[in-house]
Amino acid sequence: MKTYISEQNLNTLLDTLIAEGKRVVAPRMNAGTPLYEPLASADELVTDQLPKRSGKEAFFPLCEDIMSYEKEGQKVSITDIDPARFPETVLVGVRSCDAAAIPVLDAVFSWDYKDEFFLERRKKTTVVGLACTMADDACFCTAVGLSPAETRGSDLFLTPVEGGGYSCETCSEKGEALVKSYTALFAEACSSKALPLAEPQTEKIDLQKVKGWLDNHFEDPAWDSIATRCVGCGACAFVCPVCHCFDIVDEGTEKSGKRRKNWDACGFWKFTHHASGHNPRDQQPKRYRNRIMHKFKYYDDKFGETLCTGCGRCIRLCPVGIDIAGIVEEISKK
Amino acid sequence: MTQPIDESIYTAVTVAIQAEAQRILSEGLVTAVVGYASARRKGSTQPIVITDAALAEKLIFTPACVNNLAVYLTKAKKEIPKTGRIGIVVKGCDLKALVGLMGESQLKREDLYLIGVPCIGVLGSIIQPDTAFTSDSIAPKCRECDAHLPLGCDFVPSQQPITPELEKKYAAEIDRLEAMTPAERWAYWKEQFSKCIKCYACRQVCPFCFCEQCLCDRNKPQMVETTPRPAGNFAWHIVRAMHLTGRCAGCAECERACPMDIPLNLLNRKMAKELKDLYEYEAGFEVNAKGPLTMFTEKDDQSFIK
Amino acid sequence: MHTEKPKNSFEPKIIAFVCTWCTYAGADLAGTSRMQYPSNVRVLKFPCTGRIDPVFILKAFQQGADGVLVSGCHPGDCHYIAGNFHARRRFAAFRKLLEFIGVDLNRLQFSWVSAAEGGKWVEVVTDLTERVRSMGPMVEFKELAMEEQWSGTIDTPELKEAYNQI
């Protein structure tokens, strides 16, 4: 179903949702940095910058409690987190690359083990995607088979049109429900042309060819030349819309504390460090190899698609200029 | 007002670096050269380790050569050849870090072949590496640099860096924060640290964070919460700044690498300022066996002690 | 023989990091001499002020201290010759860092108290306790400990209410 919403009505919609007690998460500026964060009012919405972290945070928090414990004398009491407490959320202004990442994460978190934390948050979230109108030379969604107009992962998808406002496409029941609940704010589909969408410069990469090479080159001198420069931070994984590794830590005192789930990154030395002291990925290139392997081979082996949506964040933010698009392109030519 | 900065000497500097790297590799003076090479995106560069003289032509120097390569001599111990001397391309600020590492017995001068860069500055951020090099895009550290020409290198191209006089941003920002009340400063840092995701890019790019296991990666005892919650973030950044006090050479890599734009170097600059006031210490080109916090005099200020 | 203790609405928690050779002995002397000092202070004994890592001070604040005292031997009296000289520089720097972060330095006191200075110990502890009492609780770090990163927060109206009542 296609409808139209003016910019003013979109703001009214967001303000109404906020007033109703829903958490509206959208790109906003936090101390000079664009991030997906809960809005206090629709005025905060920023649509002209790609947030530095992806939208995955709405379902897969940077850090969340999974239980708490208390010890009194010999008595230990454990309190689980009640998923019913997860807030109803509307995730707004999600770029195509971030929205397309959501089904990719769904597959992982509902595979052999159903991760109730992720799935419950996911269930309670409506995703309003936004067609992308600007790209730089780090963007490569088109190279991994997506596009700035990709509606995958969105419940409602907005495309900015000439003369202001957005053409809306409902892509799921959740999206339909949102439009129905606030039907007065939506008008009939208009005939205005969509604004010119972004045009990432990278050409389509043959991902099957990349996987074919990776299948046979676990050991290869290329890894050293690619990743000796990697300094082992977690920036790439933490800004990635589809990286989903986490670590579980207990924090607190003997008397009381919490078990928490935090993002983790395969670039960290500690990621594969065994209790024995042995580390199977003892050198940085081996850790970086895992990043590429997981994205373009392991995930594909298991779920039949690529663990990368081409948002380009890791390319822009890598402190040492490691360029995953360039690496994959090169592999595809081997 | 934005004024372009003349970066034309870097073309000649690039040629000189290539020739020198080619020479020292082919003559066997070094086993490897750590430098910068261009990358796929327009204007982008990345660190590179070259062991073959024929590849010396890959080396470049441009305003996008922001990295402090000194980090590779401490952190990438397993990846970079251990035997023989290693050549490394250094800007003035990078050299100060190397000098600090020598003082801390992490490196020996005789194991290094230093290729200095006459530096007019680099970009503040390489998120968009083809940004024009101007008084706006220049790194804040370069605005107050006193080390455009590294001293004591084995080779420095003959070009003379001519640099425009620019307003000192860190000094102004420190003044601004110092004028605030403690509550206002707390609010400022709280907002900044709220963005931290504990990716540890600040630690990993820092040449001085060479501990085999960081205090923050230990959990017995756990001195710093590992979670990226506000409490853990504060603790981490305080610990980081304290561990660099009297050691930081001012390369500002922490701040540049921070994917969340936290002004981390502000903490380092503030501490550098305090140490200058207290102990007349400044990071420089001279190797000192002891840093300001590993030595003392009996006359040190103790006005704050009852 | 005990004097009547005044009742206060706020009793600050003061953590004292002391060296075993001078200040701990000084505090002990105050005790054996039956001098009165506020019971708000919890003493943690270290071999030397040189062993007191700034991170301990941070941890104390994070764990709910309203004030912190660090105390050791007078310059020249260190059992390990120079531990307190090193500590002096480290703390001179650390307090500047805390100040820059936004911690009110009135909550942090450094002192030299020798084994013979029971009276000085009483004075230092009393001064700090009264000063911190007048400043009220150190809420900054406690508030931080309660805060979550936005994505991990859950709807807990009763917790929020309880928190607002603090």
In this prediction, residue A199 carries a pLDDT of 87
Q: Between chains, do C152 and A62 touch, taking CB under 8 Å as contact?
A: yes
pLDDT at C159 over 70: no
User: Which of helix, strand or coil describes residue B132?
Assistant: coil
Contact A231, A322 (CB under 8 A): no
pLDDT per residue over B178-192, tens digit each?
A: 999 999 999 999 999
B298 in reach of chain C (CB within 8 A)? yes
- Cα distance from N-terminal residue to C-terminal residue, chain B: 50
B298 burial (CB, 10 Å; 0-12 / 13-18 / 19+) is exposed
pLDDT per residue over B211-241, tens digit each?
A: 988 998 888 888 898 899 999 999 999 999 9
Residues of B in contact with C55 (CB under 8 A): 215, 223-224, 235, 239, 242
C-alpha span between B17 and B28 (Å, rounded): 16
What confidence tier does C154 reach under pLDDT thresholds 50, 70, 90?
Answer: confident
Candidates B222, B227, B238: best to mutate against C (most CBs of C within 10 A) is B238
What confidence tier does A200 reach under pLDDT thresholds 50, 70, 90?
Answer: confident
Report, as an integer, the average pLDDT of A303-308.
95
- B contact residues 140-199, partner C, Cβ 8 Å cutoff: 177-178, 182-190, 194
Q: Between chains, do A63 and C154 touch, taking CB under 8 Å as contact?
A: no
Q: Between chains, do B230 and C89 touch, taking CB under 8 Å as contact?
A: no
In this prediction, residue A263 carries a pLDDT of 96
Report, as an integer, the average pLDDT of A117-138.
94
Q: Whole-structure pTM over 0.90, yes or no?
A: yes
Q: Between chains, do C149 and A86 touch, taking CB under 8 Å as contact?
A: no
Edge-first strand order for the sheet with A246-252 is A75-80, A63-72, A256-263, A246-252
Q: Nearest chain A residue to C151 by CA: give it.
A: A61
Q: Nearest chain B residue to A261 by CA: give it.
A: B227
Contact A58, A89 (CB under 8 A): yes
Select from B219, B16, B277 the least CA-distant residue to A248. Answer: B219
pLDDT at A92 over 50: yes
What confidence tier does A289 reach under pLDDT thresholds 50, 70, 90?
Answer: very high
Give the domain extent around A306. Answer: 2-332
Q: Between chains, do B298 and C101 touch, taking CB under 8 Å as contact?
A: no
Contact A159, A332 (CB under 8 A): no
**Strand ranges, E, within chain A:** 2-5, 23-30, 33-38, 63-72, 75-80, 89-95, 125-130, 156-160, 166-170, 187-188, 246-252, 256-263
C-alpha span between B58 and B35 (Å, rounded): 9
Q: Between chains, do A282 and B78 touch, taking CB under 8 Å as contact?
A: yes
C111 in reach of chain B (CB within 8 A)? yes
pLDDT at B104 over 80: yes
Contact C41, C150 (CB under 8 A): no
Contact C137, C166 (CB under 8 A): no
Contact A231, B71 (CB under 8 A): yes
Output the average pLDDT for chain C: 91
pLDDT per residue over A1-47, tens digit each?
A: 899 999 999 999 999 999 999 999 999 999 999 999 999 999 999 99
In this prediction, residue A202 carries a pLDDT of 82
- The ipTM assigned to this model is 0.93
pLDDT at C7 over 70: no
Candidates A24, A30, A57: best to mutate against C (most CBs of C within 10 A) is A57
* Distance from the C147 Cα atom to the nearest Cα atom in chain A, whole angstroms: 11
- C contact set with A (CB within 8 A): 148-156
pLDDT at C10 over 50: yes
Report, as an integer, the average pLDDT of A299-326.
95
pLDDT per residue over C47-64, tens digit each?
A: 999 999 999 999 999 999
C46 in reach of chain B (CB within 8 A)? no
When CB atoms are compared, the residue of C152, C155, C156 closest to A64 is: C152
Contact A208, A229 (CB under 8 A): no
Q: Between chains, do A63 and C149 touch, taking CB under 8 Å as contact?
A: yes
C-alpha span between A217 and A194 (Å, rounded): 44
Q: Between chains, do C101 and B234 touch, taking CB under 8 Å as contact?
A: yes
Q: Between chains, do C154 and A85 touch, taking CB under 8 Å as contact?
A: yes
Q: Nearest chain B residue to C76 by CA: give it.
A: B298
pLDDT at B113 over 90: yes
The percent of residues above 90 in pLDDT, for chain B, comes to: 88
In this prediction, residue C133 carries a pLDDT of 96
In this prediction, residue C128 carries a pLDDT of 97
Q: Nearest chain B residue to C60 by CA: give it.
A: B223
Candidates A35, A36, A231: best to mutate against B (most CBs of B within 10 A) is A231
Residues of C in contact with B241 (CB under 8 A): 97
pLDDT per residue over C74-110, tens digit each?
A: 999 999 999 999 999 999 999 999 999 999 999 999 9
Domains: count for chain A: 1
In this prediction, residue C1 carries a pLDDT of 46
Q: Between chains, do A323 and B40 touch, taking CB under 8 Å as contact?
A: yes
C-alpha span between A137 and A316 (Å, rounded): 9
The percent of residues above 70 in pLDDT, for chain C, comes to: 89
Pairing verdict, β B112-116 and B45-50: unpaired
Output the average pLDDT for chain A: 93
pLDDT at C3 over 60: no
Select from B171, B173, B131 the least CA-distant residue to B276. Answer: B171
C-alpha span between C26 and A311 (Å, rounded): 63
Output the average pLDDT for chain B: 93
Structural domains of chain C, ranges and CATH numbers in brackets = 14-165 (3.40.50)
pLDDT per residue over A260-276, tens digit each?
A: 999 999 999 999 999 99
Candidates A49, A228, A323: best to mutate against B (most CBs of B within 10 A) is A228
- Per-residue tokens: C121: 């110990």
pLDDT per residue over B128-187, tens digit each?
A: 999 999 999 999 999 999 999 999 999 999 999 988 889 999 999 999 999 999 999 999
Residues of A in contact with C151 (CB under 8 A): 57-58, 60-64
Query: Which residues make Cβ contacts (< 8 Å) with residue B172, sequence separation at least 6?
Result: none
Report, as an integer, the average pLDDT of B27-46.
95
